[in-house]
């Protein structure tokens, strides 16, 4: 299938002023963000933040109260042959229990008017070829997740949307998923993936969109979002003259704690200042490192007080 056959050629996702009001809950509130092709974008938020509702609106499974969500400039509902543009994995794959993995995919191919060999190709892509002829009811949760991704890839879509795809995967499965999704993004596809596994997102995502209580909290490249957090940045120092250094740093209004393992953790001044203060006080340094909070810390700080059941 050539690119020319399937407009929209750009797989950019644009969410603009998206709102969903249920009877008592505003699940998504005037939410706007963009997701770029060629990158993995992590969609993060505490429980009940509105992630699933947003993804379902993007895929035309829930009608927005207001606002729009487009893929390559078009609403999902207006895409011709949507499976060739967008693959989605919203929950662990369900299939007829007595059907084999390969037959499940062949049925989907037939229903979508896709060539039958796409079933074999998609199964190979997710490493399930050895289990092709086993019945779905015998699949583990991890195998069902893989089958769900295979189903999403049948139409060779430019855009992939996954809701909590790492659920149920063991560490090896998670590593495999990371490689697959990074590879698909590297091919120029748009990969939007929601997850609670923040440490995993830090390894997987190029960009993050963080929401809480239906609102956008932060969007940007992972490194920038983490780097923009000044709170939590500390300088780790090792010195054989701790007492002298602590006294010199405190005179600069720095806060100093021990890390319990012989190093000092300094907050309130940067590494250059610590080095200068140490030099001025004639203190020898054995380590001087800036420690930034990881995504977990950023996430907790950004969404503090906004989490919770609504």
Ligand X SMILES: Nc1ncnc2c1ncn2[C@@H]1O[C@H](COP(=O)(O)OP(=O)(O)OP(=O)(O)O)[C@@H](O)[C@H]1O
Q: Please provide the DSSP assignment of 108-125 as one string.
A: HHHHHT--THHHHHHHHH
Of 38, 48, 220, 268, the one binding ligand X by CB under 6 A: 48
Question: Per rule CB under 6 A, is residue 50 in the interface with ligand X?
Answer: yes
Least distance (Å) between residue 50 CB and ligand X:
4
Closer CB to ligand X, residue 276 or residue 310?
A: 310
Closer CB to ligand X, residue 67 or residue 268?
A: 67
Least distance (Å) between residue 251 CB and ligand X:
47
Q: Is 209 helix (H, G, I), strand (E, B) or coil?
A: strand
Question: Per rule CB under 6 A, is residue 87 in the interface with ligand X?
Answer: no
Of 53, 100, 195, 239, the one binding ligand X by CB under 6 A: 53
Question: Per rule CB under 6 A, is residue 49 in the interface with ligand X?
Answer: yes
Distance CA 228, CA 285 (A): 27
Closer CB to ligand X, residue 33 or residue 136?
A: 33
Distance CA 102, CA 125 (A): 13
- Contact between residue 44 and residue 211 where contact means Cβ atoms under 8 Å apart: yes
Stretch that binds ligand X, among 31-39, 51-59, 183-191, 254-262 (CB under 6 A): 51-59
- Find the farthest-apart pair of alpha carbons in the chain and give their distance in angstroms, rounded: 77
Least distance (Å) between residue 226 CB and ligand X:
21
Closer CB to ligand X, residue 37 or residue 50?
A: 50
Least distance (Å) between residue 222 CB and ligand X:
19
For the chain, the C-alpha Rg in angstroms (whole number) is 24
Question: Per rule CB under 6 A, is residue 177 in the interface with ligand X?
Answer: no
Least distance (Å) between residue 191 CB and ligand X:
18
Question: Per rule CB under 6 A, is residue 52 in the interface with ligand X?
Answer: yes
- Contact between residue 86 and residue 157 where contact means Cβ atoms under 8 Å apart: yes
- Contact between residue 178 and residue 203 where contact means Cβ atoms under 8 Å apart: yes
Closer CB to ligand X, residue 63 or residue 230?
A: 63
Least distance (Å) between residue 90 CB and ligand X:
10
Query: Which parts of 8-47 interact with ligand X (CB under 6 A)?
Result: 22, 25, 27, 45, 47
Closer CB to ligand X, residue 53 or residue 93?
A: 53
Least distance (Å) between residue 182 CB and ligand X:
23
Q: Looking at the DSSP assignment, which residues form a beta bridge with residue 256?
A: 266
H/E stretch holding 35: strand 26-35
Closer CB to ligand X, residue 48 or residue 297?
A: 48
Distance CA 146, CA 50 (A): 25
Closer CB to ligand X, residue 1 or residue 61?
A: 61
Question: Per rule CB under 6 A, is residue 222 in the interface with ligand X?
Answer: no
For the chain, the residue count is 310
Backbone angles phi, psi at 242, to 5 degrees: -60, -45
Least distance (Å) between residue 51 CB and ligand X:
3
**C-alpha count within 13 angstroms, C-beta hemisphere, residue 129:** 8
Sheet holding 26-35, edge to edge: 26-35, 13-21, 66-71
Least distance (Å) between residue 81 CB and ligand X:
27
Distance CA 230, CA 276 (A): 21
Closer CB to ligand X, residue 42 or residue 50?
A: 50
CA 123, 127, 130, 131 dihedral sign is negative
The residue ranges that bind ligand X (CB under 6 A) are: 22, 25, 27, 45, 47-53, 310
């Amino acid at each position: 299938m050539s690119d020319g056959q399937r407009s929209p050629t750009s797989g950019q996702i644009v969410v603009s002023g998206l709102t969903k009001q249920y009877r008592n809950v505003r699940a998504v509130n005037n939410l706007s963000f963009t997701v770029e092709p060629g990158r993995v974008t992590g969609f993060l938020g505490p429980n009940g933040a509105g992630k699933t509702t947003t993804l379902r609106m993007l895929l035309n499974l829930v009608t927005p109260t207001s606002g729009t969500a487009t893929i390559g400039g078009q609403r999902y509902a207006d895409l011709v042959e949507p499976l060739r543009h967008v693959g989605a994995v919203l929950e662990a794959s369900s299939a007829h229990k007595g059907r084999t993995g390969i037959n499940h995919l062949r049925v989907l191919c037939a229903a979508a008017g896709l060539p039958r060999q796409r079933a074999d190709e998609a199964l190979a892509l997710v490493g399930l070829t050895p289990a092709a002829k086993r019945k779905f009811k015998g699949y583990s949760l991890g195998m069902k997740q893989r089958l769900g991704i295979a189903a999403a890839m049948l139409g060779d879509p430019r855009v992939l949307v996954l809701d909590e795809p790492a659920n149920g995967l063991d560490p090896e499965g998670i590593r495999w998923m990371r490689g697959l999704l990074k590879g698909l993004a590297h091919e120029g596809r748009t990969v939007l993936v929601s997850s609670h596994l923040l440490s995993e997102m830090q390894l997987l995502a190029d960009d993050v969109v963080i929401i809480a209580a239906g609102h956008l909290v932060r969007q940007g490249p992972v490194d920038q979002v983490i780097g923009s957090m000044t709170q939590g940045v500390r300088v780790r120092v090792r010195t054989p003259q701790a007492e002298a250094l602590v006294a010199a740093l405190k005179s600069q209004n720095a806060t100093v704690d021990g890390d319990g393992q012989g190093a000092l953790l300094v907050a309130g001044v940067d590494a250059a200042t610590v080095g200068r203060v140490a030099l001025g006080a004639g203190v020898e340094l054995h380590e001087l490192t800036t420690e930034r909070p990881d995504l977990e810390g950023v996430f907790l700080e950004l969404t503090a007080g906004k989490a919770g059941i609504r």
